[in-house]
Amino acid sequence: MNNEMKMEFDARSENESFARVAVAAFVSELDPTLEEISDIKTAVSEAVTNAIIHGYDGITDGKVTLYCRLEKDVIHIEVEDTGRGIPDVEQAMEPLFTTKPELNRSGMGFPFMEAFMDDLEVISGPGEGTRVLMKKKIGCTPWIGDGE
């Protein structure tokens, strides 16, 4: 069973909840548990919030693209912005690192995404925007290719 969706929305904080619900509805055909839905919604929330807060830094005409693909029992999620990018991805992924302490940002966005998803990759560079790629296997069957 393969299925995909793509949507683009304004980089406004009120659209973060819209993105969470859209992904939760999209993955529902795989019959995820409440815990799996919660994990996915949290990771999407963190990725979208990072795009809005850090990627665009108050620019009101920015866009966030959300792409999801179901491949058998795995959801692939991409959150992309064309904002200012991340100069040092490795540093940005460290727990408690934030470039916005004045906004009471905890620096736990990437660590939460990593904890709640099965795979996380961040592709970014200064002036290039950021792509956050996440995967989560739904259900308790082994990963495709396990045991080979």
Of 16, 36, 46, 80, which residue is the catalytic one?
46
Distance CA 7, CA 128 (A): 20
Specify the amino acid at residue 147: G
User: What's the DSSP call for residue 142?
Assistant: P
4 is catalytic: no
What tokens were used for 46? 């963190």
46 is catalytic: yes
50 is catalytic: yes
Distance CA 42, CA 148 (A): 32
For 85, what's the count of Cα atoms within 13 Å in the CB-facing half-sphere? 9
Of 16, 36, 50, 80, which residue is the catalytic one?
50
What tokens were used for 7? 């949507």
User: Any idea which residues carry the catalytic annotation?
Assistant: 46, 50, 105
